[in-house]
Structures are given as C-alpha cells and as structure tokens.
Structure 1
Amino acid sequence: MKRSGIAALSIAVLLSVSLAHAGFLDNMMKGLGAPSKQGPDDSTVVSGLKEALSIGTDNAVKNVSRLDGYFGNEIIKILMPEKIQKVADVLRKVGYQKEVDDFILSMNRAAEKAAPMATSYFVGAIKEMSFDDARKILNGGDTAATEFFKRRTSDKIAASFKPVVSSSMNDVGVTKKYKDMMGKYESLPFVDKESLDLDTYVTNKAMDGLFYMVGEEEKKIRTDPAARVTDLLKNVFGK
C-alpha cells in the first residue's frame, strides 16, 4: 500500500476513535444529570418539592414506627441518657443487666409507638411551602428540604409530640422500668441520687431519629433515580 493510502487510513481510524470518545462523554454527562436548558416552572418545582417531602416523610415515619424501627437501627437507637449512664454502669456490675436492657428497649418502643403522630404535622408544614422556599431547597444541599422543615416545625412538633411520647412511655412501661432501675441503684450504699426528665429526653431523641430518616429519604430522591417514583419527581429532580 502506498504511503498516501496508509496516511488516509490512519486519519480515518483516528477520526472514528475521536467520535466514539465524544459520544461516550456525551452519554456520561447525560448519566450524571447535566442540567437542561429549560428547567421546570415555579408551579412544577413547588409541586415536586411537596411531593418529595410527602413521600420522604411518609417513608420515614413508616420506617421508624415499625417494630425495632428505632431499637433495631444503630444510628437512631435511643441509648441510655448520659446523665444516668453511671447508674447503668453500676447496675450492670452488680447483676442488674436485664433491668438496664429492658429500660433501653422500653424507651425505643415508646418512640416507635409515638412516631406516627408526626405525620399530620409534616403534612401541615408541607402545605405552607412557598415558591421561593422551593427554589432555595431545590438548589440547596442534599438535606435542604429536611433542614427547612426542621427550622419551621420542630417547636410545634415537639410540643405536640411530647404528650404522645409520655403516654406511650406509660403504655410500654418506660416509667415503671425507670423507677425500678433507679430504685435498685438508690438501694445501693454510697451512691448519689439522680433525676431525669424522661419525657423530654425520649421526645428529643425520637425527633432526632425521625428527622435523620427524613433526610435519608430526601438524599435518595435527589441522588437515586430509582427513588423518583413519580413523573413529577423525575421532572423536578431529573431522570
């Protein structure tokens, strides 16, 4: 083959490789969710964010309110209050491990029982989202919607959640187990008495765990196409 023919063939091969490489980059950019030239309008953004929050909060509430929703999740499990950790340590050493374990379990059971009551407050807060709020959330971090939600509703939820937690703790025996545990501790010689507002402690921990799970659901919707289960979510967050 003449040199000119070889050169022409080489150029053709190089062009083919370059075009293939360019096509690969285009597909990769699409896969990464390159922004479209025309995004969704304000109405669609607000509707999409509200739907995302509705789905996320519903999933979160269902996850934490099932059996072992708190107790079986090491990230949100309600542990022994730091204020009485010394009490637990002493009781474990003198043979009261079961009493300590039962108390921890009962706190988590109370949180699991109370969690469904948060749904109505989530729904109310979602309805109040404005166009400006939605745009900021859409352009914010992975948990921007969850953080917005916490800022706007935490106090209201806590005020309404606490009586339910208190009632649930009585139902599942938290208060009795706490008194039993503390009674055994205070019967020991040379120990100081300790006190704790259990209702507030469990309420705060239950809310922390619930909001954490809402944040995890929001991250899924933002980053995992499989979590965008409706056409509206696909339109707002991308396919």
Structure 2
Amino acid sequence: MPAGSVVAVVGENGAGKSTLVKLLARMYEPNAGEITADGTDIARIDIQQWRSRISGAFQDFARLEFLAQTTVGVGDLPRSRDRPAVQAALDRAGADQVIDQLAAGLDTQLGASWDDGVDVSFGQWQKLALARGYMRPEPLLLMLDEPTAGLDAETEHALFEQFAAGARRAADNGRVTVLVSHRFSTVRMADLIVVLDGTRVAEVGSHAELIAARGPYAELYAIQAGAYA
C-alpha cells in the first residue's frame, strides 16, 4: 500500500476484509508470511509502539457508556480530557450533530444502564465510535472497517468522501488510509482498490482500471449499480 494513499478493500462476505484489517492492527498474527512496513516485519516492532501510530473504527464497535467526552476521548488516552481535541474528532467524523442533540453536550452520561444515562440510536453510537477513531491527530495507518455500515448509502458515501479528502490532506506524512466497504459505489474515490475473493487478492487497481479490466470488480460493481437503477 503506497505511502500517502487511500486504499479501499472490497469483496463479498467472508472474503477476508476484516481479517486483513485485524492483521494490520496486530490483533491477529499471520500463520505464514509477514507484513512489512518500509521493509520491516511489523512483528519485530514493539506492539505498543505500533498501535500508538495506528487508529481505526470498526463495524463491531463498542458502546462505551461514559460521559460523551470520555466515550470519544479514549481514542487517544493522553488527550481524553482535551475538549478541543474531542470536538475536532467529532467534526472530522461528522458526529458533531450527535453531541448537539444531547442536553448536556459532551457532559452527557451515555447509556441506558445509568439512572441519568441517555441512550442514543445505533447510528449515533456508530458515529461516536468513528469520532473515537479520529482522536489521534497523525496516525501512520488509519483503518476504517465498514464503520458506517448501519447508515444509509447516501450518508456513508458523503462521509467516505470526507474521509478521503482528509486523508489526502494528511498524505504529506505518509499516512495510509484503509477503507473497507461492501458498497462498491462508495470506494470509487480511493487511489487504489484491492479486491479480495476467497481470502486471496483477485485484483488491484484504480476504479477506472478495474472497470476497464472487466473482471470480478467490474461485475460486482455492475450488479450493485443495477440494484440502485
């Protein structure tokens, strides 16, 4: 994955998309082969140092029933009490409106298990989790594994365009942004698209290149496009 690029990972269910992300985060260790960063096997890098330079938001996110500021802020513990940093993460994730709808704003206790807790919708929890993934200001690897799967296609597309624009502004430090989505129309703006099929890489290229190749990506893209026609 080239430094400074936005890389989309697509494929049918069970193709290995989330497994790839978890390998990159070192939640899993590979059974064979290696994953390298600038030629260095990441297994040789101290795991805490590696994870301190990565960030992400995942489809299977946690509903952290803290004060709203803490729910987002724990994405970067040293700055969890930094209100401007939390607000900036909310803005980048398009989640500022969630806080605006809470009576006490960032000081609102979240979660129905608390007597004074406020429960929010699934989509709102998801946006707060996405903001949590944006708390670290300059990660070298940002992974977004279907973080908006509970949102409608139009909202997801708008957010992914925002992600891609933000990623390109941060490209000077070499950040790689990995977007995982099952919606092919959403990932068109990626610099590089990796198509997984049966836990193997079937195709790699830009949207235009893969459409021209008339392979698995073009076929799946046409099927999804037809569903919205």
Pick the TM interval, shorter chain: under 0.3
Structure in which a larger fraction of residues adopt strand: 2
Structure in which a larger fraction of residues adopt helix: 1
Tell me the TM-score normalized by structure 2.
Answer: 0.24
Tell me the TM-score normalized by structure 1.
Answer: 0.24
